[in-house]
Amino acid sequence: MTNITETQAPPSVPGTPGAGRKPDVRRDVNAFSGLAHFGLAIWALATAGPLIWVLLASFKSNTEIFLGRPFALPHSFSFETYVSAWTEAHVGRYFINSVFVVILSTAGTMLFGSMAAYVLARYRFPGNRFIYYLFVSGLAFPTFMALGPLFYILKGFGLINTFTGLILVYIAYSLPFTVFFLAAFFRTLPNEIDEAATVDGASHTRKFFQIMMPMARSGLVSITIFNIVGQWNQYLLPVVIMQGSGADTKWVLTQGIANISVSAGYHAEWSTLFAALTLSIIPMIVVYAIFQRQIQAGLTAGAVK
Amino acid sequence: MRHGKYPFIIGFLVVPVALYVVFVVGAYLQTFWLSLTDWSGLGPVPTRLSFDNFVNLWHDDLFWKSLRHNLVLLVLLPIVTIVIALIFAFLLNVGGGSKGGLTRGVWGSKFYRVVFFFPQLLALAIVAVIFGRVFAPDRSGMINGMLPESVPPSLFLADKRWALLCILAVLIWQAVGFYVVLFSAGMGSISQEVYEAAALDGATRITLFFRITVPLLWSTIQVAWVYLGIAAFDAFALVNIMSVDRGGPDGATSVLSMMIYRKTFGESQVGYASALGVVLFFLTLTFAALTLRVTRRDAVEL
């Protein structure tokens, strides 16, 4: 409680607070709004500009791209570049690999993460705090400090250049945050229902899947979105794990696109690169358009505790 | 109630803990151990332990250069991003003045929020590829293409003086939207009455911003600072993909994460790379602790 609360005391004056102001204040406000819109519009252009440019360039020939005038419309629209990006540059394959890996790794992260979080949040047993802090301390370590050791651990298990290895590592590195977030969430769930279920003879496992999981739905949705986006966008881990002979058939999208960009430099096939980029951006726009609210909530959930 | 409690607990914990200990804890612990060896990555790990790697680091120019670049990013990325995001979030939530006792954002604020946030969904790797072309040093680049023909094209990433700033600009480009949404959420929870009361007292929007919004959002700003700082220590995807010669030209964009990667996989100096990792770990930790300590103010509670 501070003195700010006390100023609530005067009842709000009916009508707009600006109504009684002098005209020059009005003009001042307009100037402010104008400036505000100018700033916002500039940033909106700066955000959308590069993406629109990529889309336009994907229809242009190399000559057109080097002509300058980046925002001129292409001479003709053909989807040839897209076909070649999808098949010859293997964007299709990378895309499917990414989908496959992220579905399994997010499912695994959510299953194992919520299991661990639930037990750590709602059961007392020796070592509970130790395991909890072991998970949470993982948040303090930057992933790339242990690149070498991670590589050689996986190599020891024969998991380098395998989807299994990539999926397991995604799960392992997503656990700290997932456990941290969900444990806090499970702790807030009421005890009464828990006890009622026990009286009715529900087993621990059943209680978790049929009572606790549904009650924690909103938390689970946020953190699922957080993990999907994080794992879909992962670049460092696939670069470390998916190397060796034949690795290029198993690359995920981020890695694949980065590689297309390198080879586009050698062969000067820029329009293919732009088509590949467009193909990787469009699904994100579609998903974002549908789930905009949930995505914003899910991604910011981490920072708001 | 007690029946079968321990088998259940163990059953639920065994897989997640095993995965985590093997791939995460194991890797981090090994980093500390390997940092004391000169292991190349092949054959058995040498048994002789010494601090040679750290001594060599001290005399490694590239290390100091990379560290300096990380520190530049560490200072500029949070400051610039937070300032821009705070201003935009304020305009979008409160900037429209108050009508009928309700403060609101400027016209079209919903649209702006949706557009600003989108880059956050794109992988940093994809963003890096896009901006690698945006900054292309010839007329095929977006920026050079927009300049009139009489202006000689800028080199951007190929220019030692500008390369790191280009990387910084891209990091900011991607981050701002996220923090606009984050700060907006915080501002949404500030009571309308506070703004109303201040407006009645004749506060201008600028006063509202500095006297009400910023103090009440302080804890969110702190979190944002830590997050952005951690992002500044990373920057691997951008440097690896965008920069000339992975950290070039002439080391002008080299950062610690890039160095660790190159030492591990390019130069077979796993021990040395691990020593870098250890240094990086302590830097990150110090940074987080310092941020929370230095920026501590008495939280204004309502």
Q: What integer pLDDT is reported at residue A10 of this predicted model?
A: 40
Query: What are the E-state strand segments in B73-232?
Result: 98-99, 102-103
Q: Which residue has the higher pLDDT, B229 or A169?
A: A169
What's the CATH number where B103 sits?
1.10.3720.10
- The backbone torsions φ and ψ at residue A244, rounded to the nearest 5 degrees and listed phi first, read 120, -175
Q: How many degrees, rounded to 5, is the angle at CA A233 between CA A228 and CA A238?
A: 110
Which range of A6-20, A103-117, B231-245, B248-262 scores highest in mean pLDDT? It is A103-117
Q: What is the pTM of this model?
A: 0.85
B105 in contact with A, Cβ within 8 Å: no
**For residue A12, what is the DSSP state?**
P
Query: Which residues on neighbouring strands pair with residue B103, listed in sequence order?
Result: B98
Q: What integer pLDDT is reported at residue A138 of this predicted model?
A: 85
Long-range contact pairs involving B211-219 (C-beta distance under 8 Å, separation at least 24): B212/A4, B213/B86, B213/B90, B213/B94, B213/B187, B214/B86, B215/B300, B216/B186, B216/B190, B216/B300, B216/B302, B217/B86, B217/B183, B217/B186, B217/B187, B217/B190, B218/B295, B218/B297, B218/B299, B218/B300, B219/B299
Cβ–Cβ of B107/A296 closer than 8 Å? no
In a domain, B35, yes or no: no
- The backbone torsions φ and ψ at residue B103, rounded to the nearest 5 degrees and listed phi first, read -75, 145
Instruction: Name the pLDDT band for B103 (thresholds 50, 70, 90).
Output: low
Question: Strand pairing of B98-99 and B102-103?
Answer: antiparallel
Q: What integer pLDDT is reported at residue B38 of this predicted model?
A: 86
Residues of B in contact with A205 (CB under 8 A): 8, 11
Residue in this structure with the two tokens 């009421």, named with its chain if needed: A190
Q: What integer pLDDT is reported at residue A73 of this predicted model?
A: 82
Instruction: Give the C-alpha separation, A84 to A75, whole Å.
Output: 19
Are A211 and A199 in contact by the 8 Å Cβ rule? The answer is: no
Q: Which domain holds residue B187?
A: 60-294
Beta-carbon pairs below 8 A across chains A and B: 310
Integer CA distances (angstroms), A203 to A198, B2, B13, B16, in order: 7, 10, 17, 21
B288 in contact with A, Cβ within 8 Å: yes
Cβ–Cβ of A140/B121 closer than 8 Å? no
Instruction: Give the C-alpha separation, B157 to B266, whole Å.
Output: 22
Over residues B105-159, the pLDDT tens digits come to: 667 778 888 888 889 888 889 999 999 888 888 878 888 888 887 778 878 887 8
In a domain, B225, yes or no: yes
**For residue B276, what is the DSSP state?**
H
Please check the confidence at residue B283 and state whether its pLDDT lies above 70: yes
A55 in contact with B, Cβ within 8 Å: no
In a domain, B34, yes or no: no
Are A289 and B171 in contact by the 8 Å Cβ rule? The answer is: no
Mean pLDDT along residues B187-215? 79
Please check the confidence at residue B264 and state whether its pLDDT lies above 70: yes
Q: How many degrees, rounded to 5, is the angle at CA A297 between CA A293 and CA A298?
A: 115
In a domain, B89, yes or no: yes
- The backbone torsions φ and ψ at residue B98, rounded to the nearest 5 degrees and listed phi first, read -115, 140
In a domain, B131, yes or no: yes
Instruction: Name the pLDDT band for B170 (thresholds 50, 70, 90).
Output: very high
Two structure tokens written together for A231: 């794992």
Cβ–Cβ of B173/A176 closer than 8 Å? no
Are A258 and A98 in contact by the 8 Å Cβ rule? The answer is: no
Instruction: Give the C-alpha separation, B157 to B138, whole Å.
Output: 11
Interface of B with A in 213-232 (CB under 8 A): 220, 223-224, 227, 230
B257: nearest CA partner in chain A: A144
Are B1 and B14 in contact by the 8 Å Cβ rule? The answer is: no
Q: What integer pLDDT is reported at residue A186 of this predicted model?
A: 86
DSSP letter for each residue of A104-133? HHHHHHHHHHHHHHHHHHH---TTHHHHHH
Please check the confidence at residue B290 and state whether its pLDDT lies above 80: yes
Residues of B in contact with A113 (CB under 8 A): 16
Q: At what angle do helices A91-122 and B5-20 cross, to 10 degrees?
A: 140
Please check the confidence at residue B81 and state whether its pLDDT lies above 50: yes
Q: What integer pLDDT is reported at residue A302 of this predicted model?
A: 62
B10 in contact with A, Cβ within 8 Å: no
Residue in this structure with the two tokens 């610039």, named with its chain if needed: B80
CB-nearest partner of A116 from B13, B26, B95 = B13
What is the number of domains present in chain B?
1
Q: Spell out the residues 6+ positions from residue A29 whose beta carbon is closer than 8 angstroms to its own.
A: A18, B97
Cβ–Cβ of B281/A71 closer than 8 Å? no
User: What percentage of chain B has pLDDT greater than the value 90?
Assistant: 18
Integer CA distances (angstroms), A6 to A10, B91, B250, B297, B302, in order: 9, 26, 61, 22, 10
Suggest the residue from B5, B6, B24, B120 to mutate for an interface test with chain A (most A CBs closer than 10 A).
B24
Instruction: Name the pLDDT band for B101 (thresholds 50, 70, 90).
Output: low
Q: What integer pLDDT is reported at residue B201 of this predicted model?
A: 81
Integer CA distances (angstroms), A287 to A158, A256, A292, B109, B206, in order: 36, 21, 8, 21, 37
B78 in contact with A, Cβ within 8 Å: no
Q: What integer pLDDT is reported at residue A20 of this predicted model?
A: 43
In a domain, B43, yes or no: no
Q: What integer pLDDT is reported at residue B299 of this predicted model?
A: 53
Are B134 and B157 in contact by the 8 Å Cβ rule? The answer is: no
In a domain, B49, yes or no: no
Instruction: Give the C-alpha separation, B35 to B58, whole Å.
Output: 14
Two structure tokens written together for A16: 């707009």
Two structure tokens written together for B226: 């830590």
Distance from chain centroid for Cα B165: 15
Radius of gyration, alpha carbons of chain B: 24
In a domain, B1, yes or no: no
A117: nearest CA partner in chain B: B13
Alpha-helical runs (H) found in B189-269: 192-200, 205-208, 214-216, 218-234, 236-242, 256-261
Per-residue pLDDT of chain A (305 residues; tens, 9 = 90+): 334 433 333 444 444 444 444 445 555 666 777 788 888 889 999 999 999 999 988 888 877 877 777 887 888 787 888 888 888 888 889 999 999 999 999 999 999 999 999 999 888 888 889 999 898 888 878 888 888 899 999 998 988 889 999 999 999 999 998 998 888 888 888 888 888 888 888 888 888 888 888 888 888 888 888 898 889 989 989 998 988 877 788 899 999 888 888 887 777 778 888 888 998 898 888 888 888 888 887 777 766 54
Q: How many degrees, rounded to 5, is the angle at CA A246 between CA A243 and CA A247?
A: 35
DSSP letter for each residue of A135-199? HHHGGGS-GGGGHHHHHHHHHHTT-TT-HHHHHHHHHHHHHHHHHHHHHHHHHHS-HHHHHHHHH
